[in-house]
Amino acid sequence: MDKLIKQFFIGFLVIFAVAVNASSVGVFNNNKDSVVLVKSFDHNGEIMGFGSGVAIKENVVITNKHVIEDSQRLAVFKNGVKIEVIEAYYSNDLDVAFLTTVSGFQPVKTAEEAPVVGERVYAIGNPLGFEESISDGIVSSLRGDLIQVTAAISPGSSGGALLNEKGDLIGITSHKIKGGENLNFAVSIQSALNSSIVKFEFTGHAPALNSAYAMREALSANTYELFLIRLDDLEVYGDKVYATTLHRRHHSDYDAWLEITTRAGYDCNNKYWKLISSKVRNQREDNNIVDSFVFNDSTWEDSKNEVGGRYLPDVCFTAEKYAKNLTDDIYVMHTKIMKRIPLNSVRVKDLFNPEYSDNLLTPLGEFLKVHNGEFSLIHALPSYWVAYKTFAGDKVYTLDRMMDFMNDPFKSL
């Protein structure tokens, strides 16, 4: 009899284990495509942090508010593909945020019933960046808007899916309490969906343009000019400043585009300057000319001449801000200008990554797409750029030329 009871008990455990395993496999397979990786970036395009997210509608991803805090921009990733976030909203009361994306995902099914203490649950997320990881446990307690669970949660799991045995979403994994065992928490999905939300305003500033920051712009009837400065090699020695500046100019009447990169010294007190080197890139119609000059024997000259006089006031003003650690003022001015610059002031290579892949924009490209209306459709251009390079080499520089090519690809060849 004892042997029969033992065999029955072992058989029951095997059946139970198989049932539990089948349930976890089904929950994972049915929902893994709904869970994404969420990354936040600063104004230079550097990753600030990451977490998880869950698609609750085709173009809406829910995550934790703390995943997106202080970010300049956001993106979600699935199977290595980057999807841009258009807008973000967050709850005033709960640790949840809602992201709208440019393309969609398979949405998860939301549970209609409230969770019950003791029921089995599954967490799917990206702990420590390990995508599509699943853990299981039970509901330990219900604490207002929070669900306490034993399913493992780690950094990177924040914003992931907490699912019941049916595979329905019951919560958004949020945090764990250190110093205890299995003290993990998720925000109830019903509480999240019923919370009041406000639009998230991205912090930070516009990324640099060709490693430089805009100081000033000038606009006439047919010419747009942009003056920029590089901060990475800016040297300040009292009243003397050594700086690299970029001057971009586009003349609309005869389709001419000019970029002058200059390294020079500036005596801000005596209003003198000293030219060190200069590189001129000139495009007019289909002709591209690049000239580089190095001035080994140059001397300090009165900045009243045309070139020195145009650069010195802006350079000295920026250098003073830089020396006083007031770089935020420089970034603010740069951001204001980037939000209104026209298409013809930006080169295609400023907007797309060096490999010109089909879906990756540079940090500046992503910023302009969101904040400058003239660039709202640039995510559609990279494949045309690849085709253009195949036929025409590296002739095209500005986006308005790129748009001409899109309208008639062979006209410009």
Distance CA 337, CA 215 (A): 8
> DSSP of 162-219, one letter per residue?
EEETTS-EEEEEEEE-TTSSS-EEEEEHHHHHTS-EEEPPP-S-PPPBTTBEEEEEEE
Query: What pLDDT does residue 379 have?
Result: 62
Whether the model pTM is above 0.75: no
* pLDDT at site 254: 64
Query: Tens of pLDDT along the chain (413 residues)?
Result: 455 555 545 544 444 444 445 488 989 999 999 999 999 987 667 788 999 999 999 999 999 999 998 787 888 999 888 888 888 999 988 999 999 987 789 999 999 889 999 999 999 999 999 999 999 999 999 999 999 999 999 999 999 999 999 999 999 999 998 877 889 999 999 999 999 998 887 766 888 898 899 999 998 878 889 999 999 899 999 999 999 999 998 877 666 778 899 999 999 999 999 989 988 888 765 566 667 777 777 788 887 766 677 889 999 999 998 888 888 788 889 999 999 998 878 877 787 765 544 456 777 887 888 788 888 777 666 555 554 444 444 444 455 555 555 454 433 33
79, 67 in Cβ contact below 8 A?
A: no
Instruction: Give the separation between CA 60 and CA 103, rounded to whole angstroms.
Output: 9
Which of 135, 137, 132, 93 has its CA nearest to residue 115? 137
- CA separation for the pair 102, 185 (Å, rounded): 30
d(CA 314, CA 320): 10
Element (H, E) at 256: strand 256-267
**pLDDT for position 99:** 94
Please give the C-alpha separations between residue 413 and each of 25, 284, 298, in angstroms, as whole numbers. 55, 14, 41
pLDDT in the model for residue 301? 85
What Rg value do the Cα atoms of the chain yield, rounded? Answer: 28
3-class DSSP state of 248: strand
- The CATH architecture one would assign to domain 34-200 is Beta Barrel (2.40)
* Cβ atoms of residues 378 and 367 within 8 Å: no
| Residue 169 · residue 56 · CB < 8 Å | yes
- Within 8 A by CB and 6+ apart from 235, the residues are 241, 242, 243
Domain ranges of the chain: 34-200, 213-338, 343-407
